[in-house]
Structure 1
């Protein structure tokens, strides 16, 4: 048995877990999650279209180093570094901004599944060193991009607020 909840605390509660009736939980979750799922899907379509456009503008020959995918992933990670600082530390964004832009657009734009497939193709094509270099370069570029972008954004915001 669990102890009864105190109604006098000001602790945040999860609206999906704390609903007393399971039917209310289902209705609430669909009403709350529907717009979020729609925004992720719409943003994903925008981001994936932008990535496709990048692959058309900067095509990579089969068996060669996949520079376009590396740059798309690094740029996407830099943008998410800026975006997350802005919406978590600077602005109070609408609840659908993060699912649309962060999860949808940037999730659709960055392509870590293609990254994994590119590595597999390089190794299978006898370019193991290039595959390993690509594996390490993308990981380092993505992490460095998000860290650098977030750091620079924080400093710019602090400088502008003075």
Structure 2
């Protein structure tokens, strides 16, 4: 394992996370809507740039592997993991694994929603336990 790659990934990831925050917040503030336009825009922009960068660097290999990993895994990975999900799904379709692509889509969305829901339920449970503990300590 090349540990130097971790530095490139971390640097790209920091820039991607900051860029995501700035762009999604700016869009949210401009739209002032309930619909998450900022996140949607970040996901779609990230997908577009991952498609462009992946295709250009895969076909031409003109970019150093460290830069490729910094941009794809680091920057775009932190900017939006949805882009990676979309690329992997597209690759399954290109390999004519349509059923696997559909399974990946449905499983990712359903399990993702379920995991978020379970996370919120768990957090609420622990918050209530904490509140009960505080109430008992105050008595």
Instruction: Provide TM-score, normalisation by structure 1.
Output: 0.46
| TM superposition shift of 1:102 | 0.5
Q: Does 1:40 align with 2:9?
A: yes
| TM superposition shift of 1:63 | 8.4
Matched residue pairs, number? Answer: 87
Is the 2:26–2:38 Cα contact (8 Å) retained in structure 1?
Answer: no
Moved over 4 A (4+): 60-63
- 19, 22, 25: which one aligns with 1:56: 25
- Which residue number in structure 1 is paired with residue 63 of structure 2? 93
What are structure 2's unaligned runs of at least 5 residues? 83-108, 121-139
Structure (1/2) with the larger helix percentage = 2
Q: Does 1:66 align with 2:33?
A: no
Rg bigger for which structure?
Answer: 1
What are structure 1's unaligned runs of at least 5 residues? 1-28, 125-162
Report the secondary structure of 1:96's partner residue: helix
Please give the root-mean-square deviation of Cα atoms over the aligned residues, in Å: 3.0
Task: Report the Cα distance in structure 2 between the residues aligned to 1:40 and 1:75, rounded to whole angstroms.
Answer: 20
Task: Report the Cα distance in structure 2 between the residues aligned to 1:90 and 1:98, rounded to whole angstroms.
Answer: 12
